[in-house]
Chains A and B, each alone.
Chain A
Amino acid sequence: MYSYDEFDERFVRERVAQFRDQVARRLDGSLTEEEFRPLRLMNGLYLQLHAYMLRIAIPYGSMNGRQMRMLGTIAEKWDRGYGHFTTRQNIQFNWPKLKDIPDILDALADVGMHAIQTSGNCIRNTTSDPFSGVATDEIEDPRATCELIRQWSSLHPEFTFLGRKFKIAVTGASSDRAAIRVHDIGIEIVKNEAGETGYRILVGGGLGRTPMIGKELRAFLPREELLPYLEACLRVYNMHGRRDNKYKARIKILVHELGIDTYREHVEAEYARIDRSNTAADMAEFARIAEQFAPPAYPELPEQSAIFERALKAHPDFAHWVEQNGFAHRVPGFMAVTVSLKPVGGAPGDATSEQLRVLAEAAEQYSMDELRITHEQNVVLPNVKKDELFALWTLLKSQGLDAPNKGLVTDIIACPGLDYCALATARSIPVAQEISKRFSDPARMADIGPLAIKISGCINACGHHHVGHIGILGLDKAGVESYQITLGGDPANDASLGERTGPGFSYDQVPGVIETLVETYLGLREPRETFLQTYRRVGMAPFKEALYADAA
């Protein structure tokens, strides 16, 4: 875990004081609402349907128990007793008061956290693989690179008033769990033929109203060139990206309109001109950061644990949870587990202050003080001894945090939708809840197997519906909610965007539609074939027919 040195600490404290001053100037009229808006957004403060919403950064999704406990305190003291984890590895509080925000930010700074650049047309929180540091398929822990980017991008004087938001994701593993292909810039840590570690750079991915898969900009970028090269990428975007239409202002549109080769030429020309010494962190600085992500002192344990094996036999519920939510750890005797925030019928990603505290305790007692937030709106405990898994499960169960559904049909991603969001055209949380109830039977869930349902409450696609195996997009058709279904999307290595089935469905029809799609899959699948594999094999036709046959 990265911990702030005196400079990081001072930086964040000064930023809080600055924001306190900005709030005061808004209240005394020096700043108009129009002027205050981008300033507050740059510090994660939104105005939603009912209240302000504060979005707090969880850099690359990584946090410790103390930080998680503070989120619990904030939920209790300044909000209505719960928080909402998002697909961006952030947490949002939906009910804070404007006057309390500076105090909340101070409380966050006490534990090395902030809300800097969680919104606004600037470089946002860098996201990453929730299993970084423990996955078996990793070349290098991506968090050091993420932290380097976090620092470089914080209050960047040149890139704080971009044409639009800018999102960067980094993975260090061969299996992409960070959805880097649907980010403005996706970075993959790779080795070249000489065995040196560097970066493969993708650009121009994104969701929203014009979903696109990122394209390769550079196959290999030496490590020491990362920041100056990013600077060149951003500068070309800042100067040439469209500003006439906010819906065409993301870098994906620039890359699309210029073509990747022309964009690359611009970047390389800029890179040749740029004064690299302005931004290139020396490798001693990279090493200083990387040291803080060095693996913790794992005790030497046998791969097999007798206690664990006994618990598996004695408690089928526990065994089921381990099978579904466990993740292989690179160190013998350890496991990583996903704590699902998707109990049957719950609001995806919500956690109460009591649950936040239990997660903190779980991390401190059982996971070497580490937690990760996933873009599926779940929490990962990355460092659990098999010997202690049963005790951990018992603790989680006491707070209803034991849903054994990671990656299954009820592990639904949903944006806030009409329940909170001012831009929403339809509900999304209640849709998720209805589907989840419909598929609540654990045996049936297990039989259906891996299936990612993703729901957005408007075309902005915060709920990632384009990359859901089943995507659901809630629209407003003449004052009535209408849900458009897409099939076959996926955010991983062979990323694909979902294809629309046809005309939309009413709110009440959606659970039945999902049921039909699932039944169609079950009827078509070959042994051990997942929904996505079946879809990719058979295509849209049989699903379409099942959905619309009656209407025809």
Chain B
Amino acid sequence: MPTLRDITGILEDAWTRLDEGADAPAGPAIYPFPGDVAGNDPALTGIHIANDVDPESVVPMFDRVSLISVAFPAFTDGRGFSIGRRLREAGYTGRLRATGPVLADQFRYLLECGFDEVEVPDALAARQPQEQWERAADAVTLNYQRGYAGRRNILEARREARGV
């Protein structure tokens, strides 16, 4: 079982991942993109995209899904960070998941790029226990950029200090 977590800690994964063309189960399911999801209950529908998919092509699906999972095939492949931001900028408000062998040290970057949760494979999860993810998330508490995790950034802190 891969490990799923968000900023609050480890989560039970209610979602089932479907292979191409598989039948839908009763509960919430993640379909591989583009997925035949017309007519599904959006609350029970998720979509998984590879990191070379143009985020624009996912925009029409925003109100048909409540979860988008983005592939991180390797922790060094940072395309997913841009995809996360693009999806958020395009107005996606549902759950956003990063899926793949990303490191605890990348947790903060993922959150700031708009991801809510991270699903990492077993072997990596075993080496990097929850406590490391918690520490990594708050290792640097102030950033220069404004992200999606709701933290105040340094430019905003300076603006406040200037009284504007």
A interface residue numbers (CB < 8 A to B): 5, 7-8, 10-11, 14-15, 17-18, 21-22, 25, 29-32, 35, 38-39, 121, 151-152, 154-163, 235, 238-239, 243, 273-275, 277-279, 281-282, 284-285, 288
Contact = CB atoms under 8 A, between A and B. Distances in A.
A30 B140 contact: no
Which bucket holds chain B's interface residue count?
35 or more
Contact of B78 (A5, A21, A155, A161): A161
Interface stretch (B7-15, B27-35, B39-47, B81-89): B81-89
Closest 8 CB pairs of A and B: A161-B78, A157-B112, A18-B139, A157-B109, A7-B154, A14-B140, A158-B81, A151-B144
Given A159-B78, A243-B79, 14 more contacts: A7-B158, A15-B140, A31-B128, A151-B154, A155-B109, A155-B144, A157-B109, A158-B81, A158-B109, A161-B76, A161-B81, A161-B109, A284-B159, A285-B155
A11 B154 contact: yes
A163 B52 CA distance: 13
Given A158-B81, A273-B90, A29 B127 contact: yes
Nearest to A15: B140
B147 to A, nearest CB: 6
7 contacts: A11-B140, A18-B105, A21-B135, A31-B103, A238-B82, A239-B83, A277-B146
A155 B76 contact: no
A15 B140 CA distance: 6
Nearest to B124: A35
Interface of B: 75-79, 81-83, 85-86, 89-90, 103, 105-106, 108-110, 112-113, 127-128, 132, 135-136, 139-147, 154-155, 157-159, 162, 164
B140 A152 contact: no
Contact of B155 (A11, A159, A274, A281): A281
A7 B157 contact: yes
Nearest to A270: B86
Contacts of B132: 25, 30
A60 B75 CA distance: 30
B127 A160 contact: no
Contacts of B158: 5, 7, 285, 288
A492 to B, nearest CB: 32
Given A30-B132, A39-B105, A161-B106, A238 B144 contact: no
A99 to B, nearest CB: 20
Given A7-B157, A35-B103, A161 B143 contact: no
Contacts of A288: 158
B95 to A, nearest CB: 19
A275 B86 CA distance: 9
A235 B55 CA distance: 12
A284 B161 CA distance: 12
Contacts of B135: 21
B109 A160 contact: yes
Given A121-B76, A238-B79, A274-B89, A152 B145 contact: yes
Contacts of A5: 158
Given A161-B76, A284-B164, A14 B127 contact: no
B81 A155 contact: no
Nearest to A281: B155
Nearest to A227: B145
Contacts of A18: 105, 136, 139-140
Contact of B81 (A10, A238, A273): A238
Contact of A155 (B77, B127, B128, B140): B140
Contacts of B128: 30-31
A14 B109 CA distance: 15
A158 B82 contact: yes
